Structures are given as structure tokens and as C-alpha cells.
Amino acid sequence: MSANVNKLLQDKVVQSRAGGKSLMNPNNNNNAADVQPASGIQAWGVVGLAAGAQAVSNIDQAVVGLAAEPIMEELSLTTAQYGFVAGSLYTLYSVGGIAVGLLAAPRFSPRSILIVMLLLWSLSQLPIVLAASFTVLVACRVVLGAAGGAGTATSMNICHEWFPDNRRSVPSSLLMVGGPIGTMVAAPALTY
């Protein structure tokens, strides 16, 4: 009985996030035994895209560390200023994650949240290209941190909508590997 109630509650949460249509149970049949991903190919594609978003997030976070010497030289930064730039990413990182969890997650689908986060990640880097300076770099890193704070949780939520409870371990693991893969790709690419 308890397992059936948990499955029904889970499907209702998924339905509310998907605008009334359940992604895990597209026929809206609330029988716990019928909970299946909408499509295997779609479900794994979502995992791949979410892992890719994690990779991009980690690349954005690591780029300042990987390009420390050229950044310090080009902007004439002292080591103290560079340390401030590097740490500025985490100024609003946790605040952004909490804000998304409290304010956005109850109102918007995880897909919409992640799209906005990806746009903010991209747009937060644009001013650096147009007018690179210590102040601009710090401001952009703060915005990047605020926008990226909920990235992992939102991506995990998206992946979990496509898989029943007993099949979430592999998608979750693949999602968590996406970030380190991004750093592994960025490190050699940015240091040559």
C-alpha cells in the first residue's frame, strides 16, 4: 500500500511539473506498475543533454583557474586581485541555488529553469568579451555563480522525471560524471 501511495504522489509531482501531463506515465494512468519512461531514446537523450549542461557549467567555473596567467597578465592583476576574481564565483552560488529551489522550482518546470540558467551562463560571459576589466570580470563571475548554483539539482530533477525510482542510479551517475568530463576537456584545450 505504501509503495503505491508513494508512486501516485511521485507521478502527481511529475504531472504538476510537466504542466499536467506526466512524463513518466504519459497515459496518466496512476497505476504504480505502469510507471515507465515516455521513451527510452528520449530519456537517455535528456540525460545526455543534462550531463552536457553540467560539463558546460564546470568549464565555465574552471576557465578562470586554467587561464590564470594570461588573465593576470592581460588585465595587470595582482595575485590578491586574481584571488578575488577566482573566489567571486562562489559569492552568490549557494544563494542562487536556494533562491531557485524556493522561488522558481515550485512555479516553473525544471526544463524552463535550466534553459534560463543556460542563457544566464552564456550572457554572463558576454561583457568580458566587450570590456574586460577587473570589475567586469568580478561582476560576471558573481552572476555566473548565482545562475549556476542550482544547476546540478535542476539537472538531476530533469533526469529523475524520465526514470522510475528503481532505475535512477545510472542516469544520476552519468549526470554527475558530466561535470568532471567538462573539466577534463577544458583543461588541455585551454592550456595549449
pLDDT category at 25 given cuts 50, 70, 90 is very low
Q: With 0.75 as the threshold, say if the pTM is over it.
A: no
Say how many C-beta atoms besides its own lie within 10 A of residue 191's C-beta. 9
Q: In the predicted model, what is the mean pLDDT of the chain?
A: 81
Instruction: Give the pLDDT score at 38.
Output: 55
How many distinct helices (H) and strands (E) make up the chain?
Answer: 9, 0
pLDDT at 39: 66
Q: Which residue has the cell 561535470?
A: 179
What is the tens place of the pLDDT at every residue in 71-106?
999 999 999 999 999 999 899 999 999 999 999 999
Position 131 scores a pLDDT of: 85
The domain defined by 40-191 folds into Growth Hormone; Chain: A; (1.20.1250)
104-113 contact pairs (CB < 8 A, 24+): 104/150, 105/150, 105/154, 105/157, 109/17, 109/18, 109/19, 110/17, 110/154, 110/155, 110/157, 110/158, 110/161, 111/158, 113/150, 113/154
Q: What is the pLDDT of residue 173?
A: 94
Mean pLDDT computed over 151-175: 91
Query: 48-67: per-residue pLDDT in tens?
Result: 999 998 898 888 888 888 88
CA-to-CA dists, residue 123 to 94, 140, 177, angstroms: 20, 9, 25
